[in-house]
Amino acid sequence: MSDTHEHSVAFVRTQAVPAAPPPFQATGPVKWVRENLFANIPNAILTLLSFYAIYVVLSATLPWMLNGIWNTQSLAECREILQGATGACFSVLVERWNQLLFGFTYPAEIYWRPTLAFVLLFLAAAPVLFFDLPRKLLVFTALYPFIAYYLIWGGTVWTPVFALLGVVGGFLVYVRFVRNSFAAGFFGGIAAAFVIWWIAGFIVPMLAWENPVLAAVPSRDMGGFMLNMMLGVVCVSLSLPIGIALALGRQSSMPLIKIICVVFIEFVRGVPLITLLFVASVVLAYFFPPDATIDLILRVIIMITMFSSAYIAEVIRGGLAALPKGQYEAADSLGLDYPQAMRLIILPQALKISIPGIVNVAVGLFKDTTLVSVISMFDLVGMIRGPILASTEWNGVYWELFMFAALLFFIVCYGISQYSQWLERRLATDHR
């Protein structure tokens, strides 16, 4: 209000206007429907078309699902009960439940062992995923791989014990030498671990009892969703640190390390995973001495880990490149050495930037574990395509089985995705 007109437009309020509720059309569900579904004519047409599409889909699937039969012994019985009406034959899931989860040769009386390992997985993963939990829980996380191995494979307890000893020995050597130089500690630690494992190779067979507490289960008996989970969890947790190392190696100022990392990443990324898996199942055997039998699951784990670590390395390289040069300089100028600067300053930020990419690779990797069905391993998909669909009782039950497989994978992958979104929100400190 300009000063010149002040006297002519002067106004003094004598009565306050009471607060009133908005008119019905401006609030509540009616307003929402108007704004979102029927804002204008094209919108209204699209809304109606969408309703029709939803109706068509549901009218086809709902009766099929609701009419589903859960308690027969074969597809033929299902058809008999349905008498030509639409309805799913979910009984295959009930009848073959254990096979879908554990494969068809894993001894039924020890299903509790992988189940226990699965439950413990949550305990072990919790302190890693939710870092507000007490740090002491990480001790269990460190022990978990050996416990899980012992539970799932069984056999002599000395195998995981010596594997653990190798890791501990390697770590002690690393701590001892890392003061002098990071490379000495790193490679010294790895060498020490291998020496211990090599010695253990002679000792363990001598110590093994005739009847171990937990019966040994050979790798070829592993199957079902358990195999997918094993491959997924092991490969993701291995490929993350290896991917970080490769990404840092690719940035290294040492030409030899840089070349090794670049060649590895470019080679592995340029090869289809299926090819690597065939290499694992067939070709790799030629490179080992004839009497050395490297476990097929181990070979597959090595291949999938190589594959996904190359991808993760590239994702993390993107995160590293996104950091301003000033962060490196600030870390340097404070006198932090290379491992400290990376661990405390660079990687926490680079990894945070890379979370969506890493999760992308992890989800993709987890789903790709079904590819092992191609090299005749009986994972979830392998079980469905092989023993279950080939059986006379269930030949022809495609929809129910594959939808179940899809659902299992969806639950896990959606969980991973939700976790990563929570993590991103939790780590957001930049207040942009």
Contact residues: other proteins, CB under 8 A: 324, 326-327, 329-337, 340, 344-345, 348-349, 352, 427, 429-432
Task: Give the C-alpha separation, 120 to 117, whole Å.
Answer: 5
Decide: 130 and 249 in contact? Cβ < 8 Å: no
Q: Least Å distance between CB 15 and other proteins?
A: 45
Q: What long-range pairs does 162-171 form, CB within 8 A, spacing at least 24?
A: 162/196, 162/197, 162/200, 162/203, 162/204, 163/197, 163/200, 165/196, 165/200, 166/192, 166/193, 166/194, 166/196, 166/197, 166/200, 167/193, 169/193, 169/195, 169/196, 170/196
Q: Which is nearer to other proteins, 168 or 336 (CB)?
A: 336
Q: Least Å distance between CB 432 and other proteins?
A: 7
How many CB atoms neighbour CB 374 within 10 A?
15
Q: Which is nearer to other proteins, 5 or 431 (CB)?
A: 431
How many CB atoms neighbour CB 27 within 10 A?
11
Q: Which is nearer to other proteins, 80 or 329 (CB)?
A: 329
Residue 105: C-alpha distances to residues 109, 115, 118, 151 (Å): 11, 16, 19, 16
Q: Least Å distance between CB 431 and other proteins?
A: 4
Task: Give the C-alpha separation, 399 to 341, whole Å.
Answer: 53
Q: Which is nearer to other proteins, 78 or 320 (CB)?
A: 320
Q: Least Å distance between CB 337 and other proteins?
A: 6
How many CB atoms neighbour CB 143 within 10 A?
14
Q: Which is nearer to other proteins, 21 or 326 (CB)?
A: 326
Q: Least Å distance between CB 424 and other proteins?
A: 13
Task: Give the C-alpha separation, 388 to 396, whole Å.
Answer: 10
**DSSP three-state, residue 332:** helix
Q: Least Å distance between CB 329 and other proteins?
A: 5
Helices 224-251, 296-322: crossing angle, 10 deg rounding? 40
Q: Least Å distance between CB 331 and other proteins?
A: 8
Q: Which is nearer to other proteins, 178 or 403 (CB)?
A: 178
Q: Which is nearer to other proteins, 13 or 431 (CB)?
A: 431
